[in-house]
Chain A
Amino acid sequence: MTNTSEKEQLMSLLFEGDTQLVDLKFFRGFPDQGNRADGETLAVTEEDICREFRSAIEQRRAGTADVSKSFNDDAPKIDVRTLFRS
């Protein structure tokens, strides 16, 4: 599969029918940490990005994604003013 075909497949997903795209952004990683949360770095190509985002859209459409209107935050809350005060 060529770079062009990956890009074309993604574009056809993004703009199929009369779909109107407003904005698109990717989060590739955190500075100082390479391209991954655990610090590993990797040269990433346009083909990689197109393939990965197309896969994400397809997972959503296939119903295999975890879709929710809520972040479902279950982290315990703490007032940091009490964090180091015993």
Chain B
Amino acid sequence: MPAVRNIHKLIEFFSSFTVLPVNPDDVRDQILSYGVKDEIEFVGVNLDRRIMLGAFHQYVVRSAVYADPMIHVDIYYDRSLSRDWKRVVCCKELLHILDHSTSKAATPSDCENLIAGMATMKLDTPFSIEKAQAWSDQLMLFYAMAVLFPWDAREVVYDDYRQDPTKLGAIAKAADLPEVVVVSVLSDYWPKLYASVSGQN
């Protein structure tokens, strides 16, 4: 599946980064380098964060009657989010551009099913490999985490963090990521998840 291969390529591209934070514009540019022609815009709006933090909206536009159709992507995020959460939301939604495999919502019926599924989804249970396999949308979040906290950066800070967990704040600040995201990446289960999302097994 070319789309998944491109996601693996993307994670591999950023894996050697130790200069943080990873800029979502760099993620976008890398995605475009794979031949993606989509026009992409970030759209900050007022959202009720109890309901959603962001959204990915991809649609075909025609600038004129005889113009070639163009695919436009709006990356919505709640503009009251802190920058670190905005980074997670926007990167996760950007990666959907490379997701041509599952959970497409191209028809009204598909949309209704997606909305029904999202409304019943529970978010109060911890990460697991089983969950990554079950939810393509959650899987995209794992991909985004692998991009935003590259493997080599994790290797650099891991021992310091294990010896002194109070360094979590400094690591999260350097990566400009929420501490809850960084804790997951620095957990003992992350190497297995990383191997899965990066296509190493």
Contacts and interface: CB of A to CB of B under 8 A. Distances in A.
Interface in A22-79: 22-37, 40-42, 44-46, 48-50, 52-53, 55-57, 59-60, 64-71, 73-75, 77-79
A13 to B, nearest CB: 10
B115 A46 contact: yes
A40 B156 CA distance: 33
B59 A28 contact: no
B127 A31 contact: yes
14 contacts: A14-B108, A25-B56, A25-B137, A28-B121, A30-B123, A33-B123, A35-B50, A46-B115, A60-B43, A68-B42, A69-B40, A73-B24, A77-B21, A79-B19
B167 A24 contact: no
Given A25-B96, A60-B45, A30 B181 contact: yes
Contacts of A56: 43, 45, 47, 55, 76
A25 B103 contact: yes
Contacts, number: 230
Interface of B: 18-21, 23-25, 28, 40-61, 69, 71, 74, 76, 79, 81-83, 85-90, 92-93, 96, 99, 103-108, 111-112, 114-116, 118-119, 121, 123-127, 131, 137-138, 140-141, 153, 156-157, 160, 167, 170-171, 174-176, 178, 180-181, 184
A65 B54 CA distance: 13
A36 B58 contact: no
A34 B123 contact: yes
Interface residues of A, number: 58
B55 A83 contact: no
Contacts of B25: 70-71, 73
A36 B105 CA distance: 24
B101 to A, nearest CB: 11
A78 to B, nearest CB: 5
Contact of B52 (A49, A60, A83): A49
A23 B58 contact: yes
A21 B124 contact: no
A81 B155 CA distance: 10
